[in-house]
Amino acid sequence: MSGPGEGKIKLGKADVYLHVKGKSGATVTHVDIELDELNDIMKPGENSYVGAKEGGIFIGLKKEMILRADKIANKKLKKK
């Protein structure tokens, strides 16, 4: 895990859960990352891919998601 660094913009503090099959409507066991700001990048129903890295994971973004993420990044960088 590399932590804060150049080119990294903190979105907020996410709640992360291991959601077990058969509980709270889960049909398969999975990891939930709950942070409202993520829906500004990935809209409900859209899919992407996840990869593992040392100390965590990364979420790969599709072109339209990258455009939204870049717009958010530019706004946050202008505020600084």
Summarised one tens digit per residue, pLDDT across range 43-60 is: 999 999 999 999 999 999
Average pLDDT over residues 12-41: 97
Structural contact between residues 61 and 48, judged by C-beta atoms closer than 8 angstroms? yes
Which residues on adjacent β-strands are paired with residue 29? none
Q: How confident is the model at residue 1 (pLDDT cuts 50, 70, 90)?
A: low
Which residues on adjacent β-strands are paired with residue 59? 50
Query: DSSP 3-state assignment of 64?
Result: helix
Query: Tell me, what's the pLDDT at 2?
Result: 77
Token pair, residue 24, equals 């709270």
Percent of the chain with pLDDT strictly greater than 70: 98
Query: DSSP 3-state assignment of 60?
Result: strand
pTM equals: 0.85
Question: Which residue matches tokens 């709950």?
Answer: 34
pLDDT at residue 17 greater than cutoff 90: yes
